[in-house]
Amino acid sequence: MRKTPQRMCAGCRQMKDKKELVRIVRTPEGEVLMDSTGKQSGRGVYLCRDLKCLEQAEKGRRLEKSLSHPVSVEVKEALKEALKEASDGRSS
SS3 state of residue 42: coil
Tell me: does residue 83 bind Zn ion (CB under 5 A): no
Determine the interface stretch with Zn ion among 22-30, 33-41, 49-57, 76-84 (rule: CB under 5 A): 49-57
Tell me: does residue 21 bind Zn ion (CB under 5 A): no
Q: How far apart (Å, rounded) are the C-alpha atoms in residues 43 and 1?
A: 28
DSSP string, 1-39: -PPPPEEEBTTT--EEEGGGEEEEEE-TTS-EEEESSS-
Tell me: does residue 57 bind Zn ion (CB under 5 A): no
Nearer to Zn ion, 32 or 54 (CB): 54
| Site of interaction with Zn ion (CB under 5 A) | 9, 11-12, 48, 53
